[in-house]
Amino acid sequence: MDREQPVRAHGFIRKHWLGEYSFPRSFWLNTILLSWFTPIAMLSLLSSNTWNIPARAASIAFVSIFFMFYPLFFWGVLGTARAIKVYRENAGRKIWIVVAMPVMTLLFGDSFFTFLGTYRIVDDHIHMAFTGRYGPPASISVIDGGKSLLLSGQMREGSADAFAKAMNSFPSVTTIAFDSKGGLLQEAILIDKSIAKHSLDTYVTRECTSACTFSFLAGRHRCMAEGARIGFHAATYVRDLSKKTFQNIADYQRDLYLKAGLPELFVNEIMETPNSRVWYPSRQALLDAHVTTPDCP
């Protein structure tokens, strides 16, 4: 007499992967809700609160969720595809298959292009998660015989601290010169406050763009070298995927520029310049908008 074969019970993950759940459950619950919507909602929630969470903790959470999403979504789609095969074999209604397949294809394509469009954000988060820093701070050097400091490079974490230490070491400094394409708004604002506190002049040697302009505008006398340029665009929080946070930063940026004395029309032009481009006004436009001061040599 043949021995009866034991029935192997599959767990939830394997059962979905093998297409053993019904097509509606596989599609709506396991793929749409669990595999796609839940990770996206978690990333959005995290992005909306990144300023209230320690940077390294936020980055570790971001990296964990982000890299969990793609295997999870792949699991959801492949399991649903197998469930569709069973559904078709059991003479299920074709209309639901016709609807489900394009939806999963669109979601998969959207997820792929989202990854390509946010690789710099992901790279920054990975760097912070493993090292505790997003990158090296801007370098601070003494020039003009100790009368000036030159800030070069990106204003990353630690740039404001480096600037404060340099001011303590060289109290005779009267001018801060910039050669920077920007960086973190938070660092630029801290440098801004330090410049105002010490009543320093500001000077652009080659370029001062993006967040650098906030620090530059704190100067008592604001000048630029021949051939130098000052560039503006709408700010963005590069480690954030939340549209709400983007809007909060835009409102904050507009308010800072208006408080610095820039005309509203000039500020509107800045806000209409997307982060992917830079607007470099002419020297006369900068002077007319009070970005630079008329007492420059």
Nearest alpha carbon to residue 188 among 222, 149, 216: 216
Residue 222 CA, distance from chain mean position: 29
- The percent of residues in the chain predicted with pLDDT above 90, rounded, is 41
Neighbouring C-beta atoms of residue 209, cutoff 10 Å: 21
Residue 237: pLDDT band (50, 70, 90) is: low
Nearest alpha carbon to residue 122 among 35, 186, 47: 47
pTM score, two decimals? 0.62
Contact yes or no for 30/21 (Cβ under 8 A): yes
Max mean pLDDT range (82-91, 245-254, 275-284)? 275-284
Phi, psi at 140, each rounded to 5°: -120, 120
Q: What is the distance between the alpha carbons of residues 16 and 78, in angstroms, rounded to a whole number? A: 9
Query: 229-231 and 222-224 as β-strands: parallel, antiparallel, unpaired?
Result: unpaired
| pLDDT of 4 | 46
Indicate the DSSP class of residue 184.
Answer: -
Q: Could you identify the residue written with the tokens 């530059």?
A: 216
Determine the residue type at 215: S
Task: Name all domains of the chain by residue range, CATH numbers in brackets.
Answer: 12-131 (no CATH), 139-288 (3.90.226.10)
